[in-house]
Amino acid sequence: MLTGQAPPGGAIVALSSDSPAVTPPPSVFVDAGSFSVSFPLQTHTVATTTTATVTATWNGAAASAQVTLLPAVAPTAIALSPTSTVGLGGSSFATVSIATPQPTDTMFQVASSNPAAASVPNGMMVPAGTTRGGFNIFTSAVSVDSRVTISVSGGGVTQSATLLVTPSSPPTTTATATLTLTASGRSGETVSSSPSGLKVAVGGTGSASFATGSSITLSVSNSRDAVWSGACSSNGNKTKTCTFTLNGNASVAVNVQ
Q: Check residue 108 and give its pLDDT.
A: 97
Does residue 171 surpass a pLDDT of 70? no
Helix (H, G, I), strand (E, B) or coil at 223: helix
Query: Mean per-residue pLDDT for 212-220?
Result: 94
Rounded percentage of the chain residues whose pLDDT exceeds 90: 90
| pLDDT digits 0-9 by tens, 140-159 | 999 999 999 999 999 889 99
Rounded Cα gap, residues 230 and 240, in angstroms: 16
Per CATH, the number for 77-166 is 2.60.40.10
CA distances from 7 to 37, 55, 63, 90 (A): 14, 21, 18, 67
- 211 touches 242 (CB < 8 A): no
Per CATH, the number for 176-256 is 2.60.40
pTM given for the model: 0.50
The closest alpha carbon to 210, from 180, 182, 183, 237, belongs to 180
Rounded Cα gap, residues 256 and 240, in angstroms: 9
| pLDDT digits 0-9 by tens, 33-79 | 999 999 999 999 888 889 999 999 999 999 999 999 988 899 999 99
Q: Which residues contact 214 (CB under 8 A, 6 or more apart)?
A: 195, 245, 246
Q: Check residue 233 and give its pLDDT.
A: 93
Average pLDDT, the chain: 94
Q: Where in the chain is the domain with CATH 2.60.40.10?
A: 77-166
Rounded percentage of the chain residues whose pLDDT exceeds 70: 98
Q: Check residue 70 and give its pLDDT.
A: 82
Q: What is the residue type of 196?
A: S
Helix (H, G, I), strand (E, B) or coil at 222: helix
Helix (H, G, I), strand (E, B) or coil at 40: coil
Long-range contacts of 127-130 (CB under 8 A, 24+ apart): 128/101, 128/102, 128/103, 128/104, 129/101, 129/102, 129/103, 130/101
Q: What is the DSSP letter of 121?
A: -
- 252 touches 231 (CB < 8 A): yes
| pLDDT digits 0-9 by tens, 225-253 | 999 999 999 999 999 999 999 999 999 99
Cis peptide preceding 127, ω within 30 of 0? no
Rounded Cα gap, residues 174 and 92, in angstroms: 32
Q: Check residue 72 and give its pLDDT.
A: 85
Decide the pairing of beta strands 146-154 and 157-166: antiparallel
Low-confidence winner among 8-22, 33-47, 162-176, 200-214 (lowest mean pLDDT): 162-176
